Amino acid sequence: MATVQALVSDVLGGHRLTEAEAELLLSARGRDVWQVTAAADKMRERRAGDIVTYVRNQNLHVTNICKNLCGFCGFGRKATDGGAYCHDRAGIQAQARLAHGRHVTEICLLSGVHPGFTLDSYIDMLHWIHEVAPGVHIHAFSPDEVAHVAQKGHIPTTEVIARLREEGLGTIQGTAAEILVDSVRKVICPRKVSTADWVRIIKEAHRTGLHSTATIMYGSYETARDQAVHLGVLRNIQDETHGFTELVTLPFVHTNTPLYQQGIARAGPTGREDLLMIAVSRLFLDNFANIQLAWGKIGLKMTQLALLSGANDLAGTMFTDDVSGDAGASGSDYLDPADMERIVSDLGRTLRQRTTLYELV
Ligand code: SF4
């Protein structure tokens, strides 16, 4: 078996990592961790340069009522649970107006998969938002949401995607991926689409001309092997479609989640795992330009270290994130570009605002 030192040297020389090699790097300990992060930082410099990007965006919460009730989630509820809500047109437009007033370029829908929603519900949302926030880029609807409304309406997922695009969807969300290994999904999100369906739907979206994010939710129940397999699934899709804009790394926030409270999941990733996830993603995903970190989940000081470990994108200003907050994260709501500037310039790098599709503003 190759050593970490030999592997990082090979990958900098152009070797494409295998999943087994990625697993080995994800399992690095001691000083080996710094070898992996330093190699990833070099790779980041080659692929993305010294610019650190962010998007001026706002999350818009439509509902926390959800058919899936995933064990790793502290946000989704049954309609009869205390604190359950579902905003109507006025509630959605009030949030969109607020976002427009803050000059965001992107509105990101962050919601439960309401069992009553249909394709028309989603189309209404797109229209209502565009009515009060003209020109804004709407980033919404995961493959699981697409599958849900397709099934409800007895229509093919390709048709759902095409209609959403026609009616004003800008990009599709690469969420609901969590870990794309079915034995893990059965434990952490048994009601979500299978790996095969997630892959099929995201490829359909890319072929329709809709770009998407790619995501990984790590640090709950999965092993380093599962993480490596997940990254392999994403790299294969990207080879075929080139439709992913970035990888979004999402650490599991454990505090208020059933999986943690029942002793099935661990207490989220450690700092070592956060840095290695960023670094190995950068080294393994040789067909991704951008690796994004989740400042709302890892905190500002770890964010700065992650920028030294392969990441080049700070995601968005957000303004609100009840999904992380309800799971137990603190300080996850809003990051002022002035604070971004402070940590980025402290590293000798340059902060730039971007659009959802990574054009510099
Ligand atoms: S992660 Fe998403 S789909 Fe799962 S329960 Fe939470 S809101 Fe629902």
pLDDT tens digit string along 272-293? Answer: 999 999 999 999 999 999 999 9
Task: Indicate if the alpha-carbon torsion angle 275, 277, 280, 285 is positive or negative.
Answer: negative
Distance CA 244, CA 210 (A): 9
Judge whether residue 346 has pLDDT over 70.
yes
> Nearest residue CA, atom 5 of ligand 1?
69
Residue 359 has pLDDT above 80, yes or no: yes
pLDDT score of 53 more than 90: yes
| CATH number for the domain formed by residue range(s) 21-354 | 3.20.20.70
Domain boundaries in the chain?
A: 21-354
Ligand 1 atom with minimal separation from the 73 CA: 6
Give residue ranges with CB within 6 A of ligand 1.
66, 68-70, 73, 75-76, 112-113, 189
Taking only the tens place, the pLDDT of each residue in 232-244 is 999 999 999 999 9
Tens-digit pLDDT profile for residues 155-182: 999 999 999 999 999 999 999 999 999 9
Q: What is the pLDDT of residue 141?
A: 98
Residue 64 Cα: closest atom of ligand 1: 7
Give the CA distances from residue 1 to residues 103, 129, 201, 275, 306, in Å, rounded to whole numbers and listed in that order.
52, 54, 37, 23, 28
Q: What is the pLDDT of residues 290-339, one digit of tens each?
A: 999 999 999 999 999 999 999 999 998 877 766 767 776 665 678 889 99
Pocket test for ligand 1, best of 75, 141, 145, 149 (most atoms within 8 A of CB): 75
